[in-house]
């Protein structure tokens, strides 16, 4: 009864990432093991786990704040959190079903050439569906896939900011917002050719005529005529092989394809029965041929002598 009451209590909201609610630092796993943060997550917010029950939401928030490499096994979490192993095992399974957690293995090759499979526990603050985890297992989710919650909000580009700042150091080159928007595309080739912001400022502000009658026209001319040459082409990069990963059932730890582990659990642990396989009947020609072989073999057997 006491453990049941304890397991339903939420964690303190102020629990830090490196210390458990019980006050002790959270243990780290052996090098190469422990928690691994999944790529492409939303920025942290107070509503990240609002869709989960209170206990699961508290545990997920705690794990989310742990650094990579932290030991998030059931036994270790039971030593640092006010929950028993049974309650934690259930909570982690629910986090897995909700798309925040997957367990599996990753194949790593050391510099010496030796290779081995490492146990992994991948955690995602942003809930992911089975298709996303399947793509992640195959290395199909690039690290650069960052979902920006402010994607729809208009932002000023690097070129726009550079042009707008010219007037602060060189008042004769003060531009309107419309001028900045019109000239910004001319800066893109400069950036593509490796020019820094300071290089561009020098090219645009050095040796100005007095007075400057039309700042926008002058800058347009300089951005066009002073464009640096294209750099030498870089050698083709060596393609990086995606990491080899596999998922495991959260209950029995049996490895399997992501498609066979919806919610991180295999069919057997979900209570599904394996389909009964019936052998296909032999065709009539095969039956007749086999019967003929048996008759031929019987006709070749030596017959015993007839008693006198």
CA distance 168 to 124: 44
From the list 61, 78, 103, the residue with the least C-alpha distance to 26 is: 78
Distance of CA 230 to the CA centre of its chain: 36
Q: Which of 6-15, 62-71, 113-122, 269-278 has the lowest mean pLDDT?
A: 6-15
pLDDT-above-70 percentage for the chain = 78
Overall pTM surpassing 0.75 (yes/no): no
Confidence of residue 155 (pLDDT cuts 50, 70, 90): low
- Mean pLDDT score, 1-28: 54
Q: Is residue 11 scored above 60 in pLDDT? A: no
- DSSP-derived pairing of the beta strands 255-256 and 244-248: antiparallel
Give the end-to-end CA distance of the chain in Å, rounded to a whole number: 93
- Mean pLDDT score, 90-108: 90
- DSSP-derived pairing of the beta strands 35-37 and 115-123: parallel
Confidence of residue 87 (pLDDT cuts 50, 70, 90): very high
Output 235 or 145, whichever has higher pLDDT.
Answer: 235
Cβ pair 230, 126 in contact under 8 A: no
Q: What is the pLDDT of residue 70?
A: 92
CB neighbours of residue 159 within 10 Å: 21
Q: Which of 5-14, 114-123, 166-175, 238-247 has the lowest mean pLDDT?
A: 5-14
């Amino acid at each position: 009864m006491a453990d049941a009451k304890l397991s339903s209590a939420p964690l303190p909201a102020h629990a830090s990432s490196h210390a458990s609610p019980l006050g002790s630092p959270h243990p780290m796993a052996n090098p190469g093991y422990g928690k691994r943060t999944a790529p492409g997550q939303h920025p942290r917010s107070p509503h990240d786990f609002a869709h989960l029950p209170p206990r699961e939401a508290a545990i997920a928030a705690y794990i989310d704040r742990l650094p990579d490499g932290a030991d998030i096994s059931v036994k270790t979490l039971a030593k640092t959190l006010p929950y028993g192993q049974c309650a934690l095992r259930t909570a982690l399974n629910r986090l897995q079903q909700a798309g925040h957690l997957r367990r599996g293995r990753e194949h790593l090759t050391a510099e010496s050439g030796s290779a081995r499979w490492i146990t992994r526990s991948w955690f995602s603050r942003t809930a992911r569906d089975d298709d996303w985890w399947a793509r992640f297992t195959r290395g199909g989710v690039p690290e650069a896939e960052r979902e920006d919650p402010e994607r729809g909000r208009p932002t000023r580009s690097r070129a726009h900011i550079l042009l707008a700042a010219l007037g602060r150091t060189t008042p004769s080159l003060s531009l309107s917002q419309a001028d900045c928007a019109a000239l910004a595309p001319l800066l893109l080739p400069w950036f593509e050719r490796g020019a820094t912001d300071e290089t561009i400022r020098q090219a645009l502000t050095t040796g100005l005529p007095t007075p400057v009658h039309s700042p926008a026209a002058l800058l347009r001319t300089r951005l066009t005529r002073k464009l640096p040459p294209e750099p030498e082409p870089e050698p083709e990069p060596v393609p990086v092989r995606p990491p080899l990963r596999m998922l495991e059932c959260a209950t029995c730890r049996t490895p399997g394809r992501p498609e066979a582990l919806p919610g991180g659990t295999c069919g057997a642990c979900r209570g599904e029965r394996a389909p009964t396989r019936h052998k296909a009947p032999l065709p009539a020609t095969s039956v007749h041929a086999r019967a003929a072989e048996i008759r031929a073999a019987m006709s070749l057997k030596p017959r015993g002598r007839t008693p006198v």
